[in-house]
């Protein structure tokens, strides 16, 4: 019995030692608390939150890591530098889960040269509905495990958000229904429905405004959560429109529920066109001994709203970037060398409402390529990028072959004369006759014709 007690005591003591921070006295971790930094309006636009409560929005917690090694203790870095942080609701659903090892790795590296280290790590996540949540922070190297419960409050609401898309992309409109927290499940029922419709706006032949329904989405709202009263019930209604065209649209939302915003004002959506472009090389091979100018043909088209100069309004600028790069293999590693680059913007007279053609020339006179490449023909590529209104609208990679002027190449095939005294003659066996003037009688071939002598 005594041996059993002694063994259990030893096991408990060993477990206690393992649970201790092996870097105790050097590293300390301090939790800075949980706050809400930003909240959202009905269109999910971000606003800074200055209140003291924890409300739905972006929830942030901060961890302060401090190290003090003024006694110059020999510190052996751990095998695991990770810091695990998470938000989960009381039903185990993960809202946020992050793993960071840079901060701890940086701390150990810094202590090799200085005696102290201080850093704050901010961990944030978007929490869109209220309820009871659990924050956990785990650092294996310190045997550190922190857990804190917190409560998020929010009001009943309906958010509607429309994706900002470019012409030709799929378009989505989403409505988020939130019961708020705390809430009374008996205020909702299983028969509630919501409907979301998308209309295209236009004008008829007489100039009157028109609305054409394009797509409709409807569903029963799943806001009835008797089994999960500690987290706000949320549901999403979404409609999709594939390959949306430029123009003005209108989204209308209606619902049986009484949430704030369930029957909100119409949502107007403007889908603007983008600069459409296509690029091609005029020649797939650039021979430096023959060619002197490298040409890229770029065609661009515009749509709605048309790009045109308005009164007292500067015209948008289109930037074209063409970068020439060389790729070669060096010890099994692909290396890219920038050898030339063209940057330009289109002049005012280049603009039009229907589109334009533009050719960019790059002078290869001073082109420097990889001199020690083992390739007989250096493989290059032109990387084209077009920016419009500050955003990249088009990219293309155009491969081509560059033949340096220093390399020998066949420029012209010397053809023998086929007419006159210098014409070449063959017999019917295909043998070339050394002297046409000495031919005997017979049938011969010359200049693609049969001749009888």
Question: Per-residue pLDDT tens for 270-309?
Answer: 887 766 678 888 888 877 777 767 777 777 765 544 444 4
Look at residue 405 in the predicted model and tell me its pLDDT. 66
Please give the Cα distance from 43 to 267 (Å, whole number).
Answer: 9
pLDDT at 252 > cutoff 60: yes
Grade residue 439 by pLDDT with cuts at 50, 70 and 90.
confident
Average pLDDT for residues 311-339, to the nearest whole number? 59
> Where are the alpha helices (H) located in 214-354, listed in sequence order?
none
First to last CA, the chain: 129
> Where are the alpha helices (H) located in 286-422, listed in sequence order?
none
Contact 144, 137 (CB under 8 A): yes
Contact 327, 335 (CB under 8 A): yes
Please give the Cα distance from 109 to 114 (Å, whole number).
Answer: 9
Higher-confidence residue of 80 and 402: namely 80
Complete domains list, the chain, with CATH: 18-152 (2.60.40.2550), 157-271 (2.60.40.1930), 276-403 (2.60.40.1930), 420-452 (no CATH)
Question: Backbone phi, then psi, for 380, in 5-degree steps?
Answer: -120, 170
The torsion defined by the Cα of 403, 404, 407 and 413, in degrees rounded to 10, comes to: 50
- Total-model pTM: 0.59
pLDDT at 377 > cutoff 60: no
pLDDT digits (tens, 9 = 90+) for 173-215: 999 999 999 888 888 888 899 999 999 998 888 889 999 999 9
pLDDT digits (tens, 9 = 90+) for 290-300: 776 777 777 77
Structure tokens at 347: 């002049």
Higher-confidence residue of 370 and 90: namely 90
Structure tokens at 47: 């606003």
Cα-to-chain-centroid distance, residue 353:
30
Look at residue 381 in the predicted model and tell me its pLDDT. 79
Q: How far is CA 296 from CA 275, 354, 360, in A?
A: 18, 21, 5
How many CB atoms neighbour CB 244 within 10 A? Answer: 22
pLDDT at 359 > cutoff 60: no
Please give the Cα distance from 301 to 307 (Å, whole number).
Answer: 10
Residue with tokens 């065609």: 299
Look at residue 127 in the predicted model and tell me its pLDDT. 94
């Amino acid at each position: 019995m005594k041996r059993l007690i002694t063994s259990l005591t030893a096991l408990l003591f060993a477990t206690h030692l393992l649970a201790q921070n092996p870097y105790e006295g050097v590293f300390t971790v301090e939790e800075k608390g949980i706050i809400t930094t930003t909240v959202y309006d009905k269109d999910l636009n971000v606003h800074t939150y200055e209140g003291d409560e924890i409300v739905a929005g972006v929830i942030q917690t901060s961890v302060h890591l401090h190290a003090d090694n003024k006694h110059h203790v020999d510190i052996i870095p751990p095998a695991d530098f990770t810091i695990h942080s998470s938000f989960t609701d009381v039903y185990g659903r993960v809202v946020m889960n992050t793993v960071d090892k840079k901060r701890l790795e940086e701390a150990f590296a810094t202590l090799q040269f200085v005696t102290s280290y201080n850093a704050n790590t901010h961990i944030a996540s978007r929490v869109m509905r209220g309820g009871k949540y659990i924050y956990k922070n785990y650092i294996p190297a310190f045997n550190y495990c922190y857990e804190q419960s917190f409560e998020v409050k929010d009001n009943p609401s309906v958010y509607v958000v429309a994706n900002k898309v470019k012409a030709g992309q799929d378009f989505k409109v989403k409505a988020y229904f939130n019961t708020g927290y705390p809430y009374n499940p008996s205020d909702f029922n299983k028969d509630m429905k919501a409907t979301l419709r998308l209309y295209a706006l236009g004008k008829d032949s007489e100039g009157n405004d028109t609305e054409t329904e394009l797509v409709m989405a409807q569903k029963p709202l799943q806001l009835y959560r008797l089994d999960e009263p500690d987290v706000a019930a949320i549901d999403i209604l979404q409609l999709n429109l594939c390959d949306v065209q430029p123009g003005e649209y209108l989204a209308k939302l209606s619902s049986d529920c009484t949430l704030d915003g369930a029957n909100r004002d119409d949502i107007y959506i403007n889908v603007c066109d983008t600069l459409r472009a296509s690029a091609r090389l005029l020649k797939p091979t650039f021979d430096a001994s023959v060619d002197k100018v490298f040409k890229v043909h770029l065609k661009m088209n515009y749509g709605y709203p048309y790009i045109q100069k308005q009164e007292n309004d500067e015209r948008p600028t289109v930037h074209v970037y063409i970068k020439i790069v060389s790729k070669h293999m060096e010890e099994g590693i692909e290396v890219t060398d920038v050898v030339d680059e063209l940057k330009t913007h289109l002049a005012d007279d280049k603009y039009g409402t229907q589109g334009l053609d533009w050719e960019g020339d790059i002078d290869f006179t001073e082109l420097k390529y990889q001199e020690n490449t083992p390739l007989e023909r250096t493989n290059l590529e032109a990387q084209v990028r077009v920016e419009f209104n500050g955003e990249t609208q088009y990219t293309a990679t155009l491969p081509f072959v560059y033949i340096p002027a220093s390399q020998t190449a066949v420029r012209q095939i010397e053809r023998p004369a086929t007419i006159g005294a210098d014409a070449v003659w063959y017999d019917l066996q295909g043998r070339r006759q050394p002297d046409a003037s000495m031919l005997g009688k017979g049938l011969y071939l010359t200049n693609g014709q049969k001749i009888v002598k």
